[in-house]
Structure 1
């Protein structure tokens, strides 16, 4: 079995020597390791990369998804089709550890693999799998699909992540001083710790928590009876759980429980932290909720030639390289959609996890106005959409396919499938404008625009999530004015009008008539992004504000 030196392969720096375990349901570290769905994974991947660069004593704990999240393909009519294709990464190392975790009253065999730091330049990552010969098919399927739609399977996944992850650390003699839950999926680990220390205060000394979503639907909850039946509470009885955590009602909420188990928690932007405090702080026993704004890892995301042009102040190289990157992106557009885009035309990209509140179709709200924009010869534009809906979210998939249907006949509009790390990077490097138009206070952070700005794209965004901490209108970005409180329909209409006004009256004229100002905005955005929104700052802040 591997020892600590085998797992880390580096000596932690003295300021980051405290051992930390970072539990997350998904990690987006490299295109070759498809165990992520969206922003939560992108954040976790950047965190582990920067932890490695800073030589922090941090190990990630996750699950090895045999079929990933899903592969985003197209059917015969060009519409999106989720498919589930087996992944067999050969670069993971067998730790030699197999152990059992009780799920639904029966032992489930769990095997631990290791992503070594040197493979992709990340802190070590332990990945657990139940897809082993000793298990029956139901048990093997626990780690088949990320965010499985079956409720019992989802609960089992949280048990394997939380309890199984804590067990694996103990058996590998990696017992951390801090257990960091990245979102509430791993909350079951606290019941394992409670059984070990028999005290809520002792658990709280060791646990911190990051909450990522202001969406109540994103804060998972299940019936107490079902959780008890599934062995979610480890050795605790249901009445003990209620008593220790002072929780009432029929539903056990993961986020609320995590906030009661943790000594400290954080939201992922200043706005989100305020929203989280409003959501949860009235509950007795909830810990302090502070703010650590999300960030992205520059080494992974930035194009090195663009970065050189920014560093030496070579505007000609910047413009030339940006056009080269646009041409690379447009090869993907041509391959998938049969459309030939022009690198001299302003290119707007909307790309992120597909969910209703993110309003992917907002640009199409007034079809006549949208078509005037698309057909303009004075200020031509090209628009690209990409993103992955949850594979069982028929509403989001319907919206995705509706955008495909509407854009199919339009030569300068394209919808791309396969939205994973590789395509995300190509889009960020090839975009001129990175569009972000969620409903206000629904986006916890929304980090994609950070990596876009590193690659000389200008954000056109609602002032939600991380954006208010960065945005200076027409200096480093363009801002869509939020509408006053009223019906969702009226807000959508007013914010659509604001977005289109900014595009037509500000963004396009600057791009086509004042290139020096455009380049100045690009350069100011890149300068303001790093280090403030680079993941080295984030990884350092977690040690100083949460782990110490």
Structure 2
């Protein structure tokens, strides 16, 4: 059995001595470990990096996805194609631990691997896999693909994460004072704890929950009948679950159940905390929902040379370093798209998970006006898009390919594939403007803009998610004025497109070319304001102070 020293590789700081188990379906800690899809993983990865820096007594519980999320490549026509390629990781430690979890009333063998703290500079992370010889092919497939499109497989994944993760902690003799569910995927762990402690109140003493999803449709739910059939409720019957949690209806909602099992929960920005309380606050038995705004780990994301230049107000060094970083990004553009971008031209990047509400194509909505901007020789501009749609989301894939087709004729517009940690860092370091234009109240946090600001890319953003806590228009960012809530969706999109284009034409472009001193002032102010308020050391400390302490 692994000792505590073997698990951690460091002695936890007394300030953070309370033992915590942090459950997350995805972790983005390094480009080499492809077990994440997007923002949830970026957040959990930064959290565990800062937990390591602070020497917290915290372990991650996650999944070892054989094929990752997917590899984003191009088909023979140059459009996006998802590809599923087996991954191998020589740097994970085989713990030798194999145990069984009931799935669909049958034993599924689960193997635990350890990502040691010193490998990538994170708190230790245990990763669970069912792709082992002891299992049949169906059981092996549970941990093949992150967010598998098959409903039964998705449910099985949440059982392995939640119940399997809690079982592993018992096998390790690691007794957490806190089980932290990062999103609702691991909610099944509570049924294991209930069987152990025989009391909802005792479970609530141990469990906290972070919700990331501000739209009802995005909160996972399945029928009670199917979940019971899949062994999701551990030893409980359907009527017992409904009675225990005071939940009726046909479907079991993961988020609502998590809020009823937890002693405390949090939204991931102040605005999202308000939205979450409005969404769930009227349900009897839900816990208090506070706000702890997401953050990103600066040690991982920063460029040291740029950071030093900003700290010393060396404007010449800032300009030179930004151009050098732009050239690194533009080599990827040239390789993928056959286009040679100019480091002296203002470069705008839209890059994040592809979903309809994020409006990747908003800048293109008034096509004539878009043509005017991209053909402007006095104030030239370059656009880059990148991001991964869910591989079964046909509408988002169609949007990605639509943008790709429209951008193709322009020498100053590019759409990149392979949006993972490495490309994300290049885009943040090589852009001048980081564009973020979701529909209001749909973005819980949106952390990509934080790391952009750490790397001299100025946010041009709708004031949603974390942005209202940071934004000082034309002092540390550019704010896109949101449309009235009284308008219909199409009218809002049209108005916000106009506001976005006005900001680009009248403020952003002229300032970049005609007033570089003011531009650099905004860049430096953004870098100063984003740390420590939106650096993950603050986040990791705040979870101990506000969520883990009783």
TM-score normalised over the length of structure 1? 1.00
1:514 aligned to 2:528?
A: no
The equivalent of 2:164 in structure 1 is 164
Partner of 2:357: 357
**Partner in structure 1 of residue 462 of structure 2:** 462
Matches within 5 A, 1:396-411: 396-411=396-411
Q: Distance in 2 between matches of 1:494 and 1:114?
A: 50
Kept in 2, the 8 Å contact 1:436–1:462? The answer is yes
Matches of 1:222 and 1:12 in 2, distance apart?
A: 39
CA distance in 1, matches of 2:349, 2:77: 24
Does 1:347 pair with 2:341? no
- Tell me the SS of whatever aligns to 1:435: strand
Task: Give matches, 1:155-304, under 5 Å.
Answer: 155-304=155-304
Which residue matches 1:374?
374
TM-score, structure 2 normalization: 0.99
Aligned equivalent of 2:93: 93
| Mapped contact 1:190–1:203 kept (Cα < 8 A) | yes
SS at match of 1:37: coil
- What is the CA deviation profile of residues 468-495 of structure 1, one whole-angstrom value per residue up to 9, with x for unaligned ones? 0000000000000000021000000000
Instruction: Tell me how far 1:215 sits from its aligned partner.
Output: 1.8
2: CA distance, partners of 1:414 / 1:523 = 27
* Alignment match, 2:81: 81
| Counterpart position of 2:422 | 422
**Once superposed, what is the RMSD of the aligned Cα atoms?**
0.4
Match of 1:18 in 2: 18
Query: Which position in structure 2 is the counterpart of 1:539?
Result: 540
Determine the C-alpha separation between the residues in 2 that align with 1:536 and 1:359. Answer: 31
Which runs of 5 or more residues in structure 2 are unaligned?
Answer: none
> In 2, distance between residues paired with 1:244 and 1:73?
47
Could you list the runs of 5+ residues in structure 1 that have no partner in the other structure?
Answer: none
Distance in 2 between residues matched to 1:311 and 1:406, nearest whole Å: 40
Could you list the per-position Cα deviations for residues 350-371 of structure 1 after superposition, in whole angstroms to 9, with x for gaps in the alignment?
A: 0000000000000110111000
3-state DSSP of counterpart to 1:483 = coil
Preserved contact between residue 103 and residue 156 of structure 1 (Cα < 8 Å) = yes
Matched with 2:530 is: 529
Structure 1 residue 312, shift from structure 2 partner:
1.7
Aligned mates of 1:391, 1:75 — CA distance in 2: 14
Q: Distance in 1 between matches of 2:502 and 2:313?
A: 32
Distance in 2 of aligned mates of 1:465 and 1:348? 20
Distance 2:280 2:313 in 1: 47
Q: CA deviation at 1:217?
A: 2.0
Question: Using the alignment, how far apart are the partners of 2:96 and 2:398 within structure 1?
Answer: 45
Whether 1:434 aligns to 2:434 is yes
Runs of 4+ in 1 over 6 A off after TM superposition: none
Q: Is the 8 A contact 1:72 1:388 kept in 2?
A: yes
Asked if residue 309 in structure 1 is aligned to residue 328 in structure 2, the reply is no
Match of 2:325 in 1: 325
Match of 1:492 in 2: 493
How many residues end up aligned between the 2 structures?
548
Structure 1 window deviating more from structure 2 (344-353 vs 169-178): it is 169-178
